[in-house]
Amino acid sequence: MTIEFRPFDAANYLHDVEDEADLLSDAIADGDPRYIAAALGAIARANGGITELARKTGLHRQTLHKALSEDGNPTLDTVLKVLKALGLKMAIDKQEAVPA
C-alpha cells in the first residue's frame, strides 16, 4: 500500500484574522526571517493569493512570490505594504532581558 503525502500549507488552516495574527505573532516571536516571510505568504494565500496581494500593494507578483516564500527575505517596505493590504499591523513590545 502506497501512502500519498500532500505538502502542508498553513493557508488552509487560517480561517479568520485572529488566526492570521496568531501565526504572524508566533513567527515574529520566533525571530526567524524565513518563518516571518513564509507566514506572510501563507496569510496572503489565505486571502485571495499572491496575485490579489500584488493588486492591493502595487508590487509585482513575482517580487511578492519570491519575498514571501520560505527562502524569501522581504524588505521592511514590502512587509509594511503587505501588512496594510492584509489588514494587519506590526507592534513593538519590550523584550525580556536576555542573559549574557
Domains and CATH numbers, the chain: 15-85 (1.10.260)
Rounded Cα gap, residues 57 and 68, in angstroms = 13
Cβ(49)–Cβ(83) below 8 Å: no
pTM: 0.81
CA 40 → CA 1, 56, 83, distances in Å? 37, 14, 8
Task: Record the cell numbers describing residue 89, joined without a space.
Answer: 499591523
The pLDDT tens digits for 71-97 are 888 999 999 999 999 988 888 778 777
Q: Give tens-digit pLDDT for 8-29.
A: 888 998 999 999 999 999 998 8
CA distances (Å), origin 11, targets 20, 40, 43, 93, 94: 9, 10, 6, 26, 29
CB 78 within 8 Å of CB 59:
yes
